[in-house]
Amino acid sequence: MKIGITFAGQGAQYPGMGKDLYDNYEAAKNVFDMAGGQNKQGGFWLSVAETLKQTHVTQPTVYTVTMAAYEAFLEALEKEGLKDDIEIIGYAGFSLGEYAALTAAGAIGEIKTGMEIVTKRGQMMNEAGLGPDGQPMGKMAAAMAKRPQVLEAVEEARGDGILEGVNFNSPSQTVVAGDKDAIARFMDVAKEKKIRAKELPVGTAFHSPMMIPAADKLKTVLKEAGLKAPNAKIYANVTAEDMMKDFDGKDAGEYLADIMSRQAKSPVYWEETVHHFKRDGAEILIEIGPGKTLSGLAKKTEADLKRFNIENAESLKETIEGLKALKAEQ
């Protein structure tokens, strides 16, 4: 069975996530114990949803839960005798999730290193989105229409502000990001053009030029993190192709620091990523981390790919049972 692994990004977090993985899987418990108090608290000890909306809290928390779920999945594959029946053809992670992909593929050597990177990334992105008065400057909105229609509305609404298409999620969904006034103009233009759009509950313009200061600082952090060439294919957010496609064989750490710092200020080509999983032979996509967002996008993009998600003990059990059933059919 040829499988693609995708890792969730920021946005689907909720209080209590990861608790039953901690209770039922030793490998997941080890990840949480390694994370220490802050990430445990941010995950399943924290009951205040509002705190989880804060970027500098969200990013390390979601990364921790995602890696715990991935390690639990590997443990379950081994225990159920399925390890030799699957071939992971590649990894991809949506925005923040790309750091989980880098960890799973060995480019980030230790989960603890990944936590340190995403904690700093969250802080830097949060700071980049604040105005001189300390208030958030940006907003994002999801538009349910074909990409050319959405980008036409973006051009019409931009004016002299920041406004870009930043997440190309599926054939029928594009997320735009920009400063508050530009997003307000976009919502008006979208309404005129009969494009269904809704503002998202985030306080900054991720993957837009607003993130340039964060990207510049992040590059320094990544250079110091000791990144290595991955041992498996990772589909990069910024190209939807193999992340190492243009690597010249010299300094993998420098090369990856450049790509991953650019990622913070550049669009995510997720629709193309799903197409490329299918192109490269994937039969199944397994989404790991909070929520089912990526599974839903995959259904809209490549409907014949089989889909599973793993965010808790129940969904992990369902995924293992589903893989067993597919094995029996072969």
Cβ pair 323, 40 in contact under 8 A? no
Q: Which member of 56, 170, 207, 261 is catalytic?
A: 207
C-alpha dihedral, 31 to 32 to 38 to 40, nearest 10°: 150
Structure tokens at 8: 């969730």
Q: Which of 95, 208, 261, 266 is catalytic?
A: 95
Beta partners for residue 75, in sequence order: none
> For residue 142, which amino acid is it?
A
**Is 95 noted as a catalytic residue in this protein?**
yes
Nearest to 21 by CA among 308, 291, 323, 315: 315
Dist. CA 266–CA 260, nearest whole Å:
10
Close Cβ partners of 325 (under 8 Å, ≥ 6 residues apart):
none
| 170 is an active site residue | no
Report yes or no: 264 and 221 within 8 Å, Cβ to Cβ. no
What is the spatial order of strands in the sheet that 138-144 belongs to?
A: 163-170, 173-179, 138-144, 196-199
The set of catalytic residues is 95, 207
